[in-house]
Structure 1
Amino acid sequence: MSRSNSVPQTPFEAVITDLGHDGRGVARVDGKTVFVSGALLGERAILRLRKRHRRFDEAEVVELLERSPHRVEPRCRHFGECSGCSFQHLDAASQIESKQRVLSENFERIGKVSPQSWLPPLTSDAWAYRRRGRLSVRNVVKKGRVLVGFREEENPRFVADIQHCEVVHPALGPKIGLLAELLNTMDAASDIPQIEFAAGDDIMALVFRHMQPLSERDTAALIVFGQQHGLAIYLQPGGNSSVHPLWPEHPRLAFRIGSDDARYADVELEFEPLDFVQVNAGMNQRMLARAIELLDPQPTDRVLDLFCGLGNFTLPIARRVAEVAGVEGEHGLVERAAQNAARNGIDNARFHVANLFEDQRHADWAKQPWDKVLLDPPRAGADKVLEYLPHKQTRRIVYVSCHPASLARDAGILVNQHGFKLVSAGVMDMFPHTAHVESIALFEK
């Protein structure tokens, strides 16, 4: 292949020798790594170069010469155009295997650790599972219509023209095309850049971000759309604090998380439409059950739940222990967590507002002895917390992770600096058909 800066148009043949962490196939051509959209491990294909970079290139498949036995037909007609999914062409078992491999490689490469045993993967419904997300909106004058969807796979500046989404909650997934039709009739068609969606057990909420005040005609149209399709409609004229309901006047978003053990009552969590909730309700239930199993809460335990959010783990744990403290950086989430505790009749849970990416070692909750700790940090991980926690009294830590690299780094800290053993770990398929790796790990002294 030519090494000029221009992108050659001549297709070339290559064998896919690996699957990247983002779901793209990986080939080696003239000693250089090439990431190939839509290609799977073991496939031989004719490729066309799309972008050239100093350390790697990007290509697309022109023709498949040898297909992977794990290739399946994508269910969604927008697959390949929309960036919402990257693995619909790979069978379910191979998706899980790929995520498990990513987790294992990160432990070995970054943390220099490996679990004593692997937990069986957790899975749930692979379709119509996404109850929270953000749709982009763009009024394309040349096409004479509004597009609503996720960003395009090949060009994130553009919005994929989606009519029906197979992974979004059924209250909205089949209606995205109708939503685009609605916006196309509105005066504010060019002033609405995004729509957030969030589903509780009983209703789906849509939050319309608008850059200019809406006309009476537009607000009336949104109300009618909400009434026709059973959707709660919110408006967001500014920052997150500006979000307010348009219809109905007082919508209630909530979801229940239950227990297979009759001794423990279900917990119901109320939330606001922009609050963080786990995307996959079925997986959240299974994840919670596994976290509690690994934590092994006892009636005399004192448990610390860091990055607690709305109390998704805190409140079910509280039903099983003497005391639990939840710590979270966002004031609104902490306030709603405390309200959820009171609403569920839980009086042994305390909540604290603290930026866990800053040193909190002098906070009262950080100085107390805790028998067990649960960590559920964002992508950045919990390394700042691990500078002063856990204390010597802590014998068990359950770490829920949304990023395998930060989990692996923190696992190395817990094992090599704090003297814990990485007892077990495994993946949880919170985002089927994507390359996103959610995982859980148990550490013990």
Structure 2
Amino acid sequence: MIDPKLLTLDIESLDLDGQGIAHHDGKVAFVQGALPGERVVARITRRKPSFDKAVTEQVLQASSQRTVPACPHFGVCGGCAMQHLEPAAQLAIKQRALEDALEHIAKVPPCQILPALQGPTWRYRHRARLSVRYVAKKGGVLVGFRERASSYVADIRQCLVLPPHVSALLVPLRRLIESLSHPDRMPQIEVAVGDEATVFCLRHLEPLTDQDIAQLRAFGEHHQIVWWLQPQGPDSAHPLDPLQRDALAYSLPAYGLRMHYRPTDFTQVNPHINQALIARALQLLDVQATDRVADLFCGLGNFSLPLATQAREVVGIEGSATLVARAREDAENQGLAVRATFTELNLFEVDADWLRRLGHFDRMVIDPPREGALAVAQALAALAPEERPRRVVYVSCNPATLARDAGVLHHVGGWTLKAAGAVNMFPHTAHVESMAVFEP
């Protein structure tokens, strides 16, 4: 008897979740584990009126770009959905995803496609949130990432995208948490790897005992880990040893800078790509010594402070008071406070009049979260030609919202999309980071 849930499908393309896309019976099928150009036998796992979800059971005709996943947990752990595809092909798909978004959403192709930025494909992830779960059926505590399309924590013992010394601690962390007083009340550990220190920030829902503290200290000393504790929200996070409050920092040697941060602050997960991203942004902006530059969604000054080493004045604007304080402190400590000023403001609620009141900017960087920068795009589109910056560089972590904002800038404001290109911030995942350049 033929299993009605088994289908032979020809895979046409890949979506942004790393699923193969095929068609059958007038519907789209999203197939986990399949690559473009392949013929596979897939098992239907979910049916909807307009699409089906499926998982690959057998590859009948393999893509030349298929590779053997290096991680033994591939297919279970939800962290790296594209390991079965050659890294160069992953990058090409991300570039195509960016171009498709600009074509179909913005309806404005870039004048130039920038070469994609890429770096190491393994051991690159210096920021991570490890889930912690006490699971009696699996013998105790699990520490790692969630299973694919599930809230369960995967039973992983190594992670090839984490730095080796962090990956090696996944199993010891299990044993440590099991030994503490409330192992079922510690839901996560934030990992932050700086140039000279690795911080583990433990979220705990019950007070820690003196014995808990002693065990954390012993683990930290043995494995050279700095512990932070987070009993409530992110603002409650604090170092176990107050003298280690400023242990985390990353260097930007091209600009003579050292950026300090806390384990709960937003920073880029990939330090190699971050340095390349900054270098390209400043190159594309073509900053002159007399320029006044705006850095919107500036965070802790990742672009602002490098810009301040080259421009006359930099104005950083950010919605997080914590990050603004951090940026001001670093600017002061590194002798850039005269050139770089920082302000807290909700950039999702701005308009052209607000932008005019800030005074004229020669250049602008926009680096928003996944929601994009619609209000900023509308404000820029409403400015008169003589009021506009000569160049805007938009750094995006979501091609759909970048395309939406590019459409506003181009179709409403008449801005030109001069160039755009993908940035492989998260190898082996479907996450697409990108950069675009606009001129009035």
Instruction: Indicate whether the TM-score tops 0.5.
Output: yes
Please give the alpha-carbon distance, in whole angstroms, between the structure 1 residues aligned to 2:353 and 2:214: 53
How far is the alpha carbon of 1:248 from its aligned partner? 6.6
Matched residue SS, 2:266: coil
Count of paired positions: 433
Alpha-carbon separation, structure 2, partners of 1:55 and 1:195: 39
- Provide the secondary structure at the position in 1 that maps to 2:98: helix
Give the whole-Å Cα distance in 1 for the aligned partners of 2:92 and 2:4: 35
Structure 1 residue 394 and structure 2 residue 389: aligned? yes
Bigger shift: residues 372-381 or 357-366: 357-366
> Does structure 2 retain, via aligned residues, the 8 Å contact 1:128–1:173?
no
Q: AA paired with 1:173?
A: S
Q: How does 1:418-437 map to 2 (within 5 A)?
A: 418-437=413-432
Contact 2:7–2:43 (CA<8 Å) still a contact in 1? Answer: yes
Q: Which residue of 1 aligns with 2:271?
A: 281
Q: Which runs of 4+ in 1 moved over 3 A?
A: 360-367
* Shift in CA distance, 364/115, structure 1 to aligned 2, threshold 3 Å: closer
1:130 to 125, 129, 138: 125
Letter matched to residue 62 of structure 2 = R
Confirm or deny that 1:271 pairs with 2:261: yes
Q: Which residue of 2 aligns with 1:11?
A: 6
Distance across 2 between alignment mates of 1:270 and 1:422? 34
Deviations 1:215-236 (A, max 9, x none): 2222211111111111110111
How far residue 417 of structure 1 moved from its aligned partner, in angstroms, is: 1.9
Instruction: After TM superposition, list the pairs within 5 Å mapping 1:184-203 onto structure 2.
Output: 184-203=178-197
Which of 80, 84, 98 is equivalent to 1:89?
A: 84
**What is the identity, as a one-letter code, of the residue corresponding to 1:358?**
E
**Does residue 322 of structure 2 align to residue 332 of structure 1?**
yes
1:27 aligns with 2:29: no
The yes-or-no answer on 1:351 pairing with 2:342 is: yes
> 2:196, 2:272 → 1: CA distance?
15
Q: Distance in 2 between matches of 1:20 and 1:115?
A: 22
Q: Which amino acid aligns with 1:53?
A: K
**Deviation of residue 54 (structure 1)?**
2.9
**Percent of aligned positions with the same letter in both sequences?**
45
Instruction: Decide whether the 8 Å contact of 2:284 with 2:393 is kept in 1.
Output: yes
TM-score by length of 1: 0.94
- State whether residues 91 and 116 of structure 2, in contact with CA within 8 Å, keep that contact through their aligned partners in structure 1: yes
Shift of 1:164: 0.6
Whether the 8 Å CA contact 2:380–2:388 is kept in 1: the answer is no
Change (3 A) 1:366 1:35: farther
Partner Cα separation in structure 2 for residue 286 and residue 371 of structure 1: 23
Structure 2: distance between partners of 1:187 and 1:49: 44
**Counterpart in 1 of 2:230?**
236
Q: Name the residue aligned to 2:102.
A: 107
CA distance in 2, matches of 1:152, 1:239: 25
CA RMSD of aligned residues (A): 1.6
Residue equivalent to 1:165: 159
1:300 aligns with 290
Aligned match of 2:369 in 378, 383, 386? 378
From 400, 415, 429, the equivalent of 2:410 is: 415
Distance 1:399 1:170 in 2: 33
Equivalent AA in structure 2 for residue 236 of structure 1: Q
CA distance in 2, matches of 1:11, 1:421: 48
- Give the superposition deviation at 1:208: 0.7
Unaligned stretches of 5+ residues in structure 2: none
Q: Could you say which structure has the higher helix fraction?
A: 2
Paired residue secondary structure (2:240): strand
Q: Which residue of 2 aligns with 1:369?
A: 360
Structure 1, unmatched stretches of 5+, are 3-7, 260-264
Listed one character per residue, the Cα deviations across residues 77-114 of structure 1 (whole Å, up to 9, x for unaligned) are 11110111111110011001100110000001000101
Q: Which residue of 1 is the match for residue 438 of structure 2?
A: 443
The 3 A distance-change label for structure 1 pair 221 and 424 is same
